[in-house]
Structure 1
Amino acid sequence: MRDRLRIAVQKSGRLAEPARALLASCGYAWRETRDHLFCIGETMPIDLLLVRDDDIPGLLADGTCDLGIVGRNVLLERAGECVLAGAPAPFREWRGLGFGACKLALAVPQQWGEAQALALDGLRIATSYPALLTQWLDERGIAAEVVTLSGSVEIAPRLGKADAICDLVSSGATLAANQLRATDVLLESEAVLAGPVAPFGDARAEIAALLLRRFDAVLGLRDSKLLLFQAASCNVPALMALLPDAEQPTVMRVDGTDRVALQAVCRGAVTWQRLEDLKRAGADALLVVPVERMLA
């Protein structure tokens, strides 16, 4: 039973800084210990444990940490290992966090034709994600050999260790450098907030609920803008039809006229083209304002 929440985050790597930035945007501040392994929360009863990305699912499973910010690919690979071992995973994804996007994809040599790329039976496929690849192959009835490697997956075909690979792809530059091309996407991945399957039964439940509300508020405001403009009352329906991603607007009548002033939070990007479309539909005095915080 604990009255503080412990979150595992990546100590270094591509998810480390965005994870800390997200927590900071939620009003969270911390003091890092001298060994740079632990952060003590100062504004909220939340502490951070700084670890390797691959270690986070295990720390969730044994209860060392309550929550973790980890790549979906890592989380589902560890969950797949649990299933292959005959036990359900003791953790699950709570929220997608919208950063660290990548794909787990199958890739074959560039010189292969389409027919050869589709004929995977009997091939050796190198990967660092054997559980996810095995599941994908089994679902399609493909009898391929899974070659597990901990690194340097892209060069496996050139070394003769495999015929194809299954690995994370971001820009595709690494595949191109190794004369490979992606064919099938097994998983769309991003950073996620992971936690236990069962809810907390102590003070951590309230702290976690507060953190989730702030996450949802911050993530919901990404690319959001407050749009203000004036228009004749008769033009309002046509103008709102151009703002399908806007929340219910606030409408105020302009004294002594048949005009109204409107303000609405738009969840999508408010581009110059959208402003021009609104202008042609009868809006004027258009103003776009960034939204820093909003709590529903």
Structure 2
Amino acid sequence: MSLLKVAVQKSGRLSEDSLKLFNECGIKFNNGAKKLKAQSHNFPIEFLFLRDDDIPGYVEDGIADIGIVGQNVHEEYGKDIEVVKYLGFSKCRLSLAIPREDSYTDVTYFEGKNLATSYPVILKKFLDEKGVKADVHEISGSVEIAPGIGLAEGICDIVSSGSTLLSNGLKEVETVMKSEAVMVASKSLSTDKKNILNQLIFRINAVLEGKNKKYVLLNAPNDSIDKIIDLLPGMRSPTVLPLAEKGWSSIHSVISEDDFWENIEKLREAGAEGVLVVPIEKMIK
């Protein structure tokens, strides 16, 4: 049977989040310490642990069938591969930053200035779209020190919390692009491997659909059911079951956690009692 070869970053937050997702999909494997390959014993998949910058090229060359990378890495390297799934984790942004003491109005600030970045392709495209001409210098690692050592007047780098910028006397002034983890695939997968990929995406969809969703159970007087159902739309519609006590029913529904907290007071005002909120591990539509 064919094995689907999956390239995953060998270390770091993206690696941890990717392996957690596969584990939540019920795919078991043992990657051990510093192993470069690992095969699942309950799903036809083999993991290759690689540098994130190398993953798009390995997928394009067919060494790996699919890979998980940051959207920023995919767009920077521009390999002939396709995004088959946006994964919703490892979110960050690629932003422009300048010395904290400098005044900033708009992107024309960068006209004629030197900018340091590890993402020259994305940055040049952004500047071209804005009609700004600047000198872009590609450097790898520690981009944030470039202004302090006189290499550049500004930088373009990945930002999550912004704490690294602050500790280096910089401030974020412009978002170039927002990024998240994406699953990329070779355009020349065999039929067998496409079928395995479809099975994998089915499992991933089930896991991601359950994220931030809650199963809500509550009791309510029958004359409040219509009002409560309006607040708990459910996947299709809520389930309503009669209680042993006449005139009361139990209402079951699935709702996003944000919607629940927005509506909890309205639910109570409508007569809801004994509200139970349960996390959802997986959800299949």
Common fold: TM-score over 0.5? yes
> Structure 2: how far apart are the matches of 1:261 and 1:199?
52
Q: 1:35 to 1:154 in 2, by over 3 A?
A: closer
Partner of 2:125, secondary structure, is helix
Structure 2 length as normaliser, TM-score? 0.92
1:244 & 1:131 partners in 2: Cα distance? 45
Q: How far does the alpha carbon of each residue in 1:245-273 deviate from its partner, in whole angstroms, 9 at most, with x for none?
A: 76521122335733322111112347666
Alignment: residue pair count: 285
Aligned-residue offset at 1:34: 7.4
RMSD: 2.1
1:234 aligns with 2:234: no
Letter in 1 for 2:274: A
**Which deviates further from its counterpart, 144-153 or 277-286?**
277-286
- Is residue 15–residue 100 contact of structure 1 (8 Å, CA) maintained in 2? yes
Whole-angstrom distance in 1 between the partners of 2:230 and 2:183: 35
Aligned mate of 2:241, from 247, 252, 257: 252
Structure 1 unaligned residues grouped into runs of 5+: 80-88
Is structure 2 residue 276 aligned with structure 1 residue 287?
Answer: yes
> Which residue matches 1:82?
none
Work out whether residues 211 and 281 of structure 2, in 8 Å CA contact, stay in contact via their aligned partners in 1: no
Q: What is the CA distance between 1:199 and its match in structure 2? A: 6.6
Identity of aligned residues (%): 38
Question: Is 1:28–2:17 an aligned residue pair?
Answer: no
Query: Residues 51-79 of structure 1, C-alpha deviation per residue, up to 9 Å, x if partnerless?
Result: 11111101111011111111111111111
Gaps of 5+ in 2: none
1:109 lines up with 2:99 in the alignment: yes
Aligned to 1:130: 120
Deviations 1:74-119 (A, max 9, x none): 111111xxxxxxxxx4112222222211110001111111248642
* Aligned 8 A contact 1:247 1:264 in 2: no
Structure 2 partner of 1:74: 73
1:189-200 correspondence to structure 2 within 5 Å: 189-196=179-186, 198=187, 200=189
| Greater alpha carbon shift after TM alignment, 273-282 vs 57-66 | 273-282
- Given that 2:117 and 2:136 are in contact with CA atoms closer than 8 Å, whether structure 1 keeps it comes out as yes
Mapped partners of 1:91, 1:32: distance in 2: 26
Pairwise mapping of residues 1-296 of structure 1 onto structure 2 (< 5 A)? 3-32=2-31, 36-79=35-78, 89-115=79-105, 118-196=108-186, 198=187, 200-243=189-232, 247-254=236-243, 257-269=246-258, 274-296=263-285
- Alignment check: 8 A CA contact 2:99 2:171 kept: yes
Q: Is the 8 A contact 1:229 1:261 kept in 2?
A: yes
Equivalent in the alignment of 1:86: none
1:274, distance to aligned residue in structure 2 (A): 4.0
Q: TM-score, normalised by structure 1?
A: 0.89
Q: How far apart in 2 are the matches of 1:226 and 1:199?
A: 41
Q: Distance in 2 between matches of 1:209 and 1:260?
A: 40
What's the CA shift for 1:294? 2.9
C-alpha deviation, 1:18, in angstroms: 1.4
Q: Does structure 2 retain, via aligned residues, the 8 Å contact 1:105–1:182?
A: yes
The superposition leaves residues 7-34 of structure 1 with CA deviations (integer Å, 9 ceiling, x where unpaired) of 0001111111111111011010113377
User: Bigger CA drift: 239-248 or 137-146?
Assistant: 239-248
**Paired residue type of 2:137:** V
